[in-house]
Chain A
Amino acid sequence: MYVGKKVTRVDAYDKVIGRTKYTDDLCDKSAYIARVVHSTIAHGRVVSIDTSEAEKIPGVVKVFTCFDLKEKHYFPTAGHPWSTDPGHQDVADRLVLTEEVRFYGDDIAAVVAEDEVSAAQAVRAVKVEYEEYPFVLDVQEAMKDGAPQIHEEYPNNILKHTSIRKGNYEEAIKEPGLTKIEGWYDTPTVQHCHIENFICYAEMEGDRITVVASTQIPHIVRRVVGQALGIAWGKVRIIKPYIGGGFGNKQDILYEPLCAWLCMQLGGHLVKLDVPREDTFVSNRVRHAIRSHIISWVRPDGTYAARKLEAYSDQGAYASHGHSIAAKGAGAFPQLYPCDNVEADAYTVFTNKSVAGAMRGYGIPQAMWAVECHTEDVAAKLHIDPVEFRRKNLMPVGYIDAFSKNELYDDTFNQCLDKAMETIDYKRKFKEYQNQTGDIRRGIGVAVFWYNTAVWPISLETSSCRMVLNQDGSLQVQLGETEIGQGADTAYTQMTADVLGVPLEDVHVVSCQDTDVTPFGTGAYASRQTYTAGFSIRQTALLLKERILKYAHELTRMPPYNLDIADGSIVRTTDGRKLMTLGELSTEALYSLTNSQHLSAESTAQIKSNAYSFGCTIAEVEVDIPMCKVKLIDIVNAHDAGTLINPALAEAQVHGGMSMGIGYGMSERLIFDKKTGRALNNNLLDYKLSTFMDHPRLKAVFAENTEPTSAFGTKALGEPPACSVAPAIRNAVYQATGVGVNDAPVNPHNLFRRFTEEGLI
Chain B
Amino acid sequence: MSKQYKLVSCTINGKQVEKMVDVRASLTDMLRDDYRLTSVKKGCEVGECGACNVIIDGECFNSCIYLAVWAEGKEILTLEGLAGPNGEISDIQQAFIDEAAVQCGFCSPGFIMSAVEILEAKREFSDDEIRKLMSGHLCRCTGYENIFRAVKKTMLRRLGKEKEALEV
Contacts and interface: CB of A to CB of B under 8 A. Distances in A.
A693 B135 contact: yes
Instruction: Rank and list the top 10 A-B pairs by shortest CB-CB distance, nearest first.
Output: A18-B39, A485-B104, A244-B106, A659-B143, A15-B105, A655-B143, A18-B79, A684-B48, A25-B38, A16-B93
Contacts of A695: 131, 143-145
Given A15-B105, A197-B43, A277-B44, A660 B140 contact: yes
A245 interface: yes
Given A29-B33, A485-B105, A685-B48, A24 B42 contact: yes
Contacts of B42: 24, 197, 274
B140 A15 contact: no
11 contacts: A6-B100, A8-B98, A15-B108, A19-B39, A22-B106, A196-B43, A245-B103, A484-B104, A691-B144, A692-B144, A697-B145
B142 A195 contact: no
A16 B109 CA distance: 7
Nearest to A486: B103
Contacts of B100: 6, 9, 12, 648-649, 651-652
B83 A17 contact: yes
A486 to B, nearest CB: 7
Interface in B100-115: 100-109, 112
B154 interface: no
Interface string A598-624: 000000000000000000000000000
Contacts, number: 178
A166 to B, nearest CB: 38
Contacts of B2: 58
A697 B97 CA distance: 19
Contacts of B98: 8
Contacts of A244: 41, 43, 104-107
Contacts of B103: 245, 485-487, 652-653, 656
A221 to B, nearest CB: 18
A16 B145 contact: no
A487 B135 CA distance: 25
Contacts of A652: 100-101, 103, 141-142, 145-146
Contacts of A15: 102, 105, 108
Contacts of B112: 16
A104 B43 CA distance: 23
B51 A195 contact: yes
Interface residues on A, range: 35 or more
Nearest to A247: B140
A195 B104 contact: yes
Contacts of B44: 277, 683-684
A243 interface: yes
Contact of A659 (B45, B97, B109, B140): B140
Interface in A182-216: 192-197
A761 interface: no
A20 interface: yes
Interface residues on B, range: 35 or more
Nearest to A15: B105
B132 interface: yes
A11 interface: yes
B61 to A, nearest CB: 17
Contact of B96 (A12, A657, A660, A683): A12
B56 interface: no
A698 interface: yes
Nearest to B24: A117
Nearest to A8: B97
B143 A194 contact: no
A22 B39 CA distance: 10
Interface in B1-42: 1-3, 22, 24, 32-33, 37-39, 41-42
A689 interface: yes
Given A193-B140, A659-B142, 18 more contacts: A12-B97, A14-B105, A16-B79, A16-B89, A16-B93, A16-B112, A18-B39, A195-B139, A196-B43, A196-B106, A485-B104, A485-B141, A658-B143, A683-B48, A685-B46, A691-B138, A693-B131, A698-B145
A276 interface: yes
Interface in B72-92: 78-80, 82-83, 89
B104 A196 contact: yes
A19 B108 CA distance: 12
Nearest to B97: A12
Contacts of B139: 195
Contacts of B51: 195
Interface of B: 1-3, 22, 24, 32-33, 37-39, 41-46, 48-49, 51, 78-80, 82-83, 89, 93-94, 96-98, 100-109, 112, 131-132, 134-135, 137-148
A656 B93 contact: no
Contacts of B96: 12, 16
Contacts of A651: 100
B146 A245 contact: no
A242 interface: yes
Most chain A CB inside 10 Å of its own CB: which residue of B51, B102, B137, B142: B102
Most chain A CB inside 10 Å of its own CB: which residue of B104, B105, B137: B104
B104 A245 contact: yes
Given A195-B43, A684-B44, A16 B102 contact: yes
A22 B108 CA distance: 13
Contact of B138 (A9, A12, A58, A193): A193
Contacts of A485: 103-106, 141
A697 B22 CA distance: 44
Contacts of B79: 16-18
A5 interface: no
B163 to A, nearest CB: 19
A21 interface: yes
Contacts of B148: 692, 697
Contacts of B147: 692
B4 to A, nearest CB: 12
A656 B141 contact: yes
Nearest to A280: B44
B105 A659 contact: no
A472 to B, nearest CB: 23
A244 B100 CA distance: 16
A13 interface: yes
A220 B151 CA distance: 39
A186 B118 CA distance: 41
A11 B108 CA distance: 12
Contact of B41 (A6, A196, A277, A684): A196
A638 to B, nearest CB: 16
Most chain B CB inside 10 Å of its own CB: which residue of A652, A685, A689: A652
B105 A242 contact: yes
Interface in A45-96: 58
Interface in A424-465: none
A649 B98 CA distance: 11
Given A691-B135, A692-B135, A18 B109 contact: yes
B142 A277 contact: no
Contacts of A486: 103
A54 to B, nearest CB: 15
Nearest to A116: B29
B100 to A, nearest CB: 5
Contacts of A691: 135, 138, 144
B140 A277 contact: no
A693 B134 CA distance: 8
Interface in A657-708: 657-660, 662, 683-685, 689, 691-693, 695, 697-698
Most chain A CB inside 10 Å of its own CB: which residue of B24, B42, B100, B108: B100
A194 B105 CA distance: 11
Nearest to B103: A485
A655 B97 contact: no
Interface string A712-753: 000000000000000000000000000000000000000000
